[in-house]
Chain A
Amino acid sequence: MNGIYLDNNATTMVAPEVVSAMLPYFSEQFGNPSSMHQFGDKVGRALTEARRQVQALLGAEHDSEIIFTSCGTESDTTAILSALRVQPERKEIITTVVEHPAILNLCKQLEEEGYTVHYLKVDKKGRIDMGSYYNLLSDKVAIVSVMWANNETGTLFPVQEMAELAHAAGVLFHTDAVQAVGKLPINLKESRIDMLSLSGHKLHAPKGVGVLYLRRGVRFRPLLRGGHQERGRRAGTENSAGIVALGKACELAMQTLEQEKTEVRALRDRLERGLLAQISHCFVTGDPGNRLPNTCNIAFEYIEGEAILLLLNRLGIAASTGSACSSGSLEPSHVMRAMDIPFTAAHGSLRLSLSRYNSEAEIDYVIESLPPIVAQLRKLSPYWRGDGPVSNPQDLFTPNYA
């Protein structure tokens, strides 16, 4: 088999149709869309078309609400910094403990600069308590930023309800929707969401292009000032090939939304059932009843994720883990820690994220391949004996560690 890609929450393959759509914009359509000649004119028209394609997928009311950026991180940063700059008297931010580093590290920096950041906690299934959220909303809060879908577990947050509450309290609402766009139907004109980030490479467009949706009328300050591109809201010559590609990818996503909900979900469920049936001492993390159709995150107890990945990779299977083994000690991801997953399991969390390009044969191969890998690593684990964990691993194995 030629490699099985189950890491679509990290990045996706650029769809072949998208590649063909963008290629001319490297060669014959190389013009600067701002130029007053035929070379620029055609590119300008292509950008207009792409903007409409993105608008359609997001259900935005106006195409001018779409601002092209370079990536999801830029969109996130622009949204939060803009909200702070238009409301200098508001010094608080509300977000969650399980956001992407694009939000969390920015918030950490803003705390250093004197802002107060409220991090909403999640329960064991990764869910927010709406009551505590409601109580935090006040006229001191500049912006709420909450992800639509979690990248590790796929768990969905009730962003539309949260946006309603924020709106009622007079607080701006931003959502990092990079994992949700293209996988779930979105209709922004029916929502109270003020700003939304998306990233091209998560929905079969190339890397290096993203979008910030900015509701008409929401006060805004650009991150990059300079030329008049994007109506002066994001200066810098347009990445025309990337933007055309993203437009095409959005058009394709419109057509495949149904497929995500049915076929991709069915494959994911088949994979999950197959693994859970064969492997003991493992469980699905997050909120299985309320998550992205393509994501499956299983924690395998008493083994470590990177070791699983290396063995899977040898069989040509690509996945990812919430265990980051780097300096000092193993560190389970902030998402696993936030959900209070025990250390024994958090280190062995494996994320399998599918796309419409996966086949049933591939899924069956993974169902067949993973159980022996888990067994092999458990055989090496000091916490495992025979076909079960040692009793009270914490007590039995008491290393001499000062």
Chain B
Amino acid sequence: MWDYSEKVKDHFFAPRNAGAVENANATGDVGSLSCGDALRLTLKVDPDSETILEAGFQTFGCGSAIASSSALTEIIKGMTLDQALLVSNQDIADYLDGLPAEKMHCSVMGREALQAAVANYRGEIWQDDHQEGALVCKCFAVDAVLIEETIRANSLHTVEEVSNYTKAGAGCSSCHEGIEAILNRVLNERGEKFDPNAVAGERQKPSSGLTNLQRIRRIETLLEAIRPNLRRDHGDVELVEVDGRNIYVKMIGACAGCQMAGATLSGIQQHLAEGLGEFILVLPDSELSRRKLTTAASA
């Protein structure tokens, strides 16, 4: 049995705002019969204030898909479209007191339907840009597609590197066989062989020949270059600490607590690694306090 929270059960057994809104002026459709689950969100938006007056959903899917749809309609009713666009899939999951890792995509579907509906209202065309694969790492909800793309983009060779870039495999480690299989496949395509004894990232020297100050300035400049992308999604990033090859950042705004924060961090990491020309790790600032605590405890 899935471990559903009471809130999820409640929204599944007694869904709010089920059915299509009459005289809706915005519709968002995501999913399809062929890919499995499908969600249609209909909204009645006040043209003057752009406030969502009514929201209704129709869902073909499992218990948590129905609960996520129901929660979404409750969250966005009364919001303006701009406010509603700030709702992340994590907000939907939080509203339901959490979803099992395998079911997080249900909340993603909710957020996408919302974006599609707003785009529809504004006469824009919404394009889904994410692709999900089979769940590999259950501890951190990382799927095969993300792992494979990250391995390709960063020429990774070891499970440890995959964990550093995606967090996959950094928990219980049961999925290491699956990660090795992906590494093996990608490396074979490149004409290389997976070596279980290879050491992660040791091939690159940590120093790039810059003084510490020059290096930090370079990092700031590199971060500045990607800020516009983050701000577009109502988020931001702040440099907190540089400790050797570990670079600690703080995610701000919509980026904070976003389910995609892991992917964003690995994107930033890739950008910084390329710009600095060395192997580095970008870690959330929460990691910094955790490490300090561990150091203090062991001292």
- Chain A residues within CB distance 8 Å of chain B: 302-307, 310-311, 314, 323, 325-331, 343-344, 347, 379-383, 393-394, 397-402
* Bound complex: CA A401 to CA B127 (Å): 7
Contact A327-B66, Cβ < 8 Å, known A343-B34, A400-B128 = no
Q: A306-B62, A307-B66, A330-B37 are in contact. Are A400 and B30 (CB under 8 A)?
A: yes
Binary interface profile of B, 59-83, with partner A (CB < 8 Å = 1, else 0)? 1111111100000000000000000
In the complex the two chains form, what is the Cα distance from A379 to B18 in whole Å?
8
Contact B29 A328 (CB under 8 A): no
* Segment 82-115 of B: residues with Cβ below 8 Å from A: 101-105
Q: Give bound CA distance, A310 to B9, whole Å.
A: 9
Q: Which of B15, B60, B65, B143 contacts A327 (CB 8 A)?
A: B143
Structural contact, B18 and A380, CB atoms closer than 8 A:
yes
* CB-contact partner of B35 in A303, A329, A398, under 8 A: A329
Please determine whether A325 and B61 come into contact, CB atoms closer than 8 angstroms: yes
Neighbouring A residues of B104 by C-beta, 8 Å: 327
A307-B62, A325-B61, A400-B127 known; A393 vs B35 contact (CB < 8 Å): no
What A residues does B12 contact at CB under 8 A? 307, 310
Taking CB atoms, residues of chain B closer than 8 Å to A380 are: 15, 18-19, 57-59, 66
Of A304, A328, A383, A393, which contacts B135 at CB under 8 A? A328
Q: Of all chain A residues, which has the CB nearest B29?
A: A399
Q: Which residues of the partner chain A approach B64 to less than 8 Å between Cβ atoms?
A: 325
- Is A302's CB under 8 angstroms from B143's CB? no
Whether, in the assembled complex, B39 has its beta carbon less than 8 Å from a beta carbon of chain A, the answer is yes
CB-based closest 7 A-B pairs = A330-B36, A327-B135, A399-B29, A329-B36, A325-B62, A382-B58, A306-B62
* 16 A-B residue pairs with CB within 8 Å: A325-B64, A325-B103, A326-B102, A328-B135, A329-B36, A380-B59, A382-B38, A382-B60, A383-B33, A394-B34, A397-B40, A399-B30, A399-B40, A400-B125, A400-B126, A401-B128
Interchain CA distance A61-B133 in the complex, whole Å? 50
Closest residue of chain B to A309, judged by CB? Answer: B63
Structural contact, A328 and B38, CB atoms closer than 8 A: no
Name which residue of chain B comes closest to A382, CB basis: B58
Contact with A along B226-255 (1 / 0, CB 8 A): 000000000000000000000000000000
Query: In the assembly, what is the distance between CA of A85 and CA of B42, in Å?
Result: 61
Instruction: State the majority secondary structure of interface residues on B.
Output: mixed
- Write out the residue numbers on chain A whose beta carbons fall within 8 Å of the beta carbon of B13: 310-311, 314
A327 lies within 8 A of B62 (CB): no
From A302, A329, A402, B128 is in contact (CB under 8 Å) with: A402
Q: Is the CB of B135 within 8 A of A382?
A: no
The reply to whether B66 and A400 form a contact with Cβ atoms under 8 Å apart is no
B31 in the interface (beta carbon within 8 A): yes
Q: Which residues of A contact B280 (CB under 8 A)?
A: none
Whether B58 lies near A401 (C-beta < 8 A) is: no
Inter-chain contacts of A393 with B (CB < 8 A): 33
**A307 to B134 CA separation, bound complex (whole angstroms):** 21
Q: Is B129 on the interface with A (CB-CB < 8 A)?
A: yes
Q: Are A327 and B29 in contact (CB under 8 A)?
A: no
Q: Does B132 contact A (CB under 8 A)?
A: yes
Q: Is B116 positioned at the interface, with any CB of A under 8 Å from its CB?
A: yes
For A328, give its contact among B34, B63, B116, B143 (CB under 8 Å). B143
Q: Are A379 and B19 in contact (CB under 8 A)?
A: yes
- For A112, give the chain B residue with the smallest CB separation: B181
A330 near B66 (CB under 8 angstroms)? no
Contacts of A402 in B (CB 8 A): 127-129
Write the nearest CB–CB distance from A148 to chain B, whole angstroms: 29
> Contact at B37–A325, with CB atoms within 8 Å?
yes
Q: Which of B1-58 touch A at CB < 8 Å?
A: 2, 9, 12-13, 15, 18-19, 28-40, 57-58
- The CA-CA distance from A326 to B57 in the complex, in Å, is 21
Q: How far is the CB of B231 from chain A (nearest CB, A)?
A: 24
A343–B36 CA distance with the chains assembled, in angstroms = 7
User: Distance in Å from the Cβ of B17 to the closest Cβ of chain A?
Assistant: 11
Kindly state the separation between the CA atoms of A130 and B2 in the bound complex, as whole angstroms: 40
Smallest CB-CB separation from B145: which chain A residue?
A328
Which residue of the partner chain B has the closest CB to A305?
A: B62
**In the complex, what residues of A have CB within 8 A of residue B40's CB?**
382, 397, 399
A307 near B63: Cβ-Cβ < 8 Å: yes
CA distance A344 to B38 in the complex (A): 11
Contact of B38 among A314, A325, A379, A399 (CB under 8 A): A399
The reply to whether A310 and B36 form a contact with Cβ atoms under 8 Å apart is no
CB of A400 within 8 A of CB of B116, answer yes
Chain A contacts of B38 at CB under 8 A?
382-383, 397, 399
Q: Are B37 and A304 interface neighbours, CB within 8 A? A: yes
Assess whether B127 is in contact with A302, with CB atoms less than 8 Å apart: no
- Assembled-state Cα–Cα distance A327/B18 (Å): 24
When the two chains form the complex, which single residue of A303, A331, A398 contacts B36, counting CB atoms closer than 8 Å?
A331
Query: Nearest chain-B residue to A381 (Cβ)?
Result: B60
Q: How far is the CB of B84 from chain A (nearest CB, A)?
A: 17
Determine how close the nearest CB of chain B comes to the CB of A77; give it in whole angstroms: 17
For residue B31, which residues in chain A have a CB less than 8 angstroms away from its CB? 329, 399, 401
Give the complex CA separation of A115 and B145 in angstroms. Answer: 27
